[in-house]
Amino acid sequence: MIPELGHFALILALAVALVQGTLPLVGAARGDARLMALGSTAALTQALLVVIAFAALTQAYVTSDFSVANVVANSHSAKPLIYKISGVWGNHEGSMLLWALILAVFGAAVALFGANLPDTLRARVLAIQALIGVGFLAFLLFTSNPFERLSPAPADGNGLNPLLQDPGLAFHPPLLYLGYVGFSVTYAFAIAALLEGRVDPAWARWVRPWTLAAWCFLTLGIALGSWWAYYILGWGGFWFWDPVENASLMPWLAGTALLHSAIVVEKRDALKSWTVLLAILAFSLSLLGTFLVRSGVLTSVHAFAQDPARGLYILAFLLTVTGGGLALYAWRAPKLTSSGLFQPVSREGALILNNLLLCTLAATVLLGTLYPLFLDLLTGNKVSVGPPFFNATFVPICAPLFAALCVGPFLGWKRAELWPALQQLRIAFFVSVVAAIVAAVAIDSRSTLAAVAFGFGVWLIAGSLVEFASRLRLGRAPWAESMRRLRATPRAAIGMTISHAALGVVVLGAVATGAWHLEVIQTLKPGEKTRIGGYDITLVRVDNVQGPNYVAERATLDVTTGGRPFTILQPERRLFTVQRRQVAETAIHSDGLRDLYAAMGEGDPNTGWVIRLYLNPLAPWIWLGAALCAFGGFVSLSDRRLRIGAPSRRSAVQAAE
Amino acid sequence: MSRRLLFLLPLATLALMAGFFAWSLMAGRDPASIGSVMVGRPAPKLDLRALREGDKPLTDALLRTGKPTIVNFFASWCTPCLAEHPLFTRLAQRDGAVIIGIAWKNKPEEARAWLAKLGDPFLYAGQDFDGRTGIDWGLSGVPETYLIDGNGIVRFHFRGPITEKDVRDTILPFLKGGKP
């Protein structure tokens, strides 16, 4: 009966969303306060109903209720509890339900925390949010019902895709969706602003925390996905420019641009139509990613049920949301006028450069991802666009972005001088040039490019720290004065420093791992030895082990350095018995500065096993840096000004004037 | 006016992209297929020693019998081959398919032992120990499977293991009608 309750709650949620998506809009147009107030009540009700539906599906998974078709297709009674729970969203229907859940919860959050919004704006935002919800709920109910029953119920299920049976991937989708769906709020704010015909500094202040929250979650989600690819795919790499990875990177780039352009709207009352466009694009790119992954238009290492009928629905939905938003934009945005004039050398000038570069990056990724599709349709030629394309396009555009990133915070609003800003950065410049030279001479004299990129990583960290030090007047003012300034520094500024420096940490990790890793691929029989970068590795034995729902070959590798025992690595090759699918389980020994990474390949006792070994310098920094980057975002989010500092439109406008 | 057009640009870009997506969905293309230059051409030459001791060598004549034929490259060291093996066994036993198996870069005794253990669905079996025939056939690895019509023309090329769906949607109709 519980699945039927969930199904029923979902139907009710759709009805409530329809009400929430229409009546408050009418109310906002007529100035009817009661109709507008309905939006908040409906948003909370809708969220409650979707929570009930989600809980019902979770219950079916946890108790292995095999009368529910979705549970049969994606779960198995022998599966560990955590994967029973993550199985809820490890499939098409369940992941769409998770979308709808997060969407509804974000709507409820706008209703709860949006008390300081003008009534008409809140009503319109909630209505747009609900209309997006209608799309997802209808999609669920009409094409992907997760509560469909099966009769007679089979004795056991088919099991979850083995690649998804992993702690990293269990939490990757929820984080990613929090990011994707978070941009729906920004989108709703943009549409509401276009409907109202006004974008002002107050609007930018209300949009920024939602953008920031979505951006933080998306950052964490992407980092987790990359970490997962690193240790499960067994090739030692952390980013493969796979369409699915690109699909998550594009909204991140657009969101990052939005985060920065919203500051210009807030402080200078300019760049309005551009910011609105970015808000529409960030969510549209999230939907585009979902479409690409689900429709089967592009192929990818990431497995998901692909179905053209669903693809058409998501395409129609994408067209409605994006097309509707962009049409409204084409109609209303020309009327948005900016008050400020621009000087190229100024804080806002730097932020525009940031936006240009970030959007170029997003366009590059979009082109690289879709080019094979276009070419195939137009000429029938099959190509795959991979790392060589992105290394030749994406990486060079990063260089000016990183170079300018440290300079921007030193420039004042309206009008600034470049030379004094650069002078303040001379220590950072010196340190990064030394780092690049050291890298070129000591680590790898063949790859100058890697050394330069390494220097850029150091520049990002050093430049951010110098900026923060100069903000505190560290060393130039008495210690007590610096401490007083530290306490007075807004959290948003601290967050910015953390995130900018963290980007440098990511760059260092990525460059070191990408350019300076060591790799040994060798067939070993038990008792045989190999060497990688000062470590002696002996294959001690290969055992057959029995897991809860898989059988595996487990290699035991004894690692010594200079004759002393260092560690023991046990990579596995798991065969998931229900799906007959093999998954590599790598073994990684990390000391924070480098990863010793072992993966096991094909083999048998006569010929030996293929053992792949990698020594990846600074690899942990990639994910550490990404987590730190998101942490910076959260610190910024905790800034009091973002929460309660924008009490009303009137006072905010006055403050800006 | 030109300013207005500028604001229409995003919408126009979307329309263009959506057109491609819709086309792609309607055309029913398979993004996983990387295509094959072999399809539509006469099958490359076949001149191999038999895998089973005492059998006659494999020649081109086997591909021009007037009957549709399946050619499967496999190896005993290849796990996906293990996965598709039961499908070939069923195709041979239940559907009477003519299947030529070629052990690619595989020691003959190991390939024989593998077939002895799992069952041998191949009417003819050859050995391509140095992989030279695989080069002629445009092989990128094992398993790969070719469907060849009665006149010796390659009609379909599967890279990777065949699946239940391939058997149902492509191979069985091909065996019955001669065209996939």
> pLDDT > 70: what percent of chain A?
93
Same domain, B106 and B143: yes
B16: domain range? 1-31
pLDDT confidence of B175, banded at 50, 70, 90? confident
Q: Is A432 helix (H, G, I), strand (E, B) or coil?
A: helix
Final residue before a domain boundary, out of A491, A516, A541: A516
B-chain CB neighbours of A299 within 8 Å are 31-32
Q: Please tell me which of the candidates A291, A299, A327 has its beta carbon nearest to residue B11.
A: A327
Q: Which two tokens stand for residue A226?
A: 């990359």
DSSP helix, strand, coil percent of chain A (3-state; round to 5): 65, 10, 20
In a domain, A234, yes or no: yes
Q: What distance in Å separates the CA atoms of residue A33 and residue A35, rounded to the nearest whole number? A: 6
User: Mean pLDDT of all residues in chain A?
Assistant: 87
Same domain, B22 and B41: no
In chain A, positions 129-168, which contact chain B (CB-CB < 8 Å)?
Answer: none
Q: What distance in Å separates the CA atoms of residue A293 and residue A289, rounded to the nearest whole number? A: 6
The closest of A465, A508, A451 to A624, measured between CA atoms, is A508
Contacts of A536 (CB under 8 A, 6+ apart): A529, A530, A559, A560, A561
Contacts of A181 (CB under 8 A, 6+ apart): A99, A102, A103, A106, A214, A286
pLDDT > 80? residue B180 = no
Same domain, B6 and B66: no
In chain A, positions 356-395, which contact chain B (CB-CB < 8 Å)?
Answer: 370, 373-374, 376-377, 380, 382, 384
B-chain CB neighbours of A275 within 8 Å are none
Specify the number of domains making up chain B.
2
In a domain, A43, yes or no: yes
Q: What distance in Å separates the CA atoms of residue A71 and residue A64, rounded to the nearest whole number? A: 7
Specify the number of domains making up chain A.
4
H or E segment to which residue A551 belongs: strand A550-561
| Range with top average pLDDT, A514-523, A617-626, A643-652 | A617-626
Find the radius of gyration of the CA atoms of chain A. Answer: 26
Same domain, A367 and A418: no
For residue B91, how far is the Cα from the chain centroid? Answer: 14
Is pLDDT larger for residue B113 or for residue B36? Answer: B113
CATH number for position B171 = 3.40.30.10
Asked if the bond preceding A388 is cis, omega within 30° of 0, the reply is no
Same domain, B48 and B22: no
Q: What distance in Å separates the CA atoms of residue B105 and residue A29, rounded to the nearest whole number? A: 74
Q: CA end-to-end span of chain B, whole Å?
A: 55
Residue by residue, DSSP assigns A14-79 as HHHHHHHHHHHHHHHHHT-HHHHHHHHHHHHHHHHHHHHHHHHHHHHHHTT-TTBHHHHHH--TTS
Same domain, A200 and A315: yes
**pLDDT per position as a tens digit, A216-256:** 999 999 999 899 888 877 777 888 888 888 889 999 999 99
Distance from CA of B62 to the nearest CA of A (A): 32
A598: domain range? 518-619
Q: Which of B21, B37, B105 to mutate to test the interface with A (most CBs of A within 10 A)?
A: B21
Amino acid (one-letter) located at A642: L
Q: What is the mean pLDDT of residues B116-123?
A: 90
Same domain, A91 and A44: yes
> pLDDT > 90: what percent of chain A?
46
Q: Which of A319, A365, A574 to mutate to test the interface with B (most CBs of B within 10 A)?
A: A319
In a domain, A655, yes or no: no
Same domain, A47 and A17: yes
**Closest-CA residue in chain A for B7?**
A330
Same domain, A325 and A239: yes
The closest of A284, A292, A271 to A326, measured between CA atoms, is A284
Same domain, B88 and B167: yes
pLDDT the model gives residue A307: 63
Q: What is the mean pLDDT of residues A636-648?
A: 63
Same domain, B27 and B90: no
* Range in A377-381, A513-517, B90-94 with the lowest mean pLDDT: A377-381
Q: What is the mean pLDDT of residues B34-54?
A: 81
Q: Which two tokens stand for residue A577?
A: 């018995």
Same domain, B109 and B83: yes
Taking the whole predicted model, whether its pTM rises above 0.80 is answered as yes
Q: Contact B31/A375 with Cβ under 8 angstroms?
A: no
pLDDT > 90? residue A275 = yes
pLDDT the model gives residue A166: 78
Same domain, B91 and B115: yes
Q: What distance in Å separates the CA atoms of residue A38 and residue A26, rounded to the nearest whole number? A: 11
| 8 Å CB contact of B31 and A299 | yes
pLDDT > 90? residue B79 = no
Q: Tell me whether B5 touches chain A (CB under 8 Å).
A: no
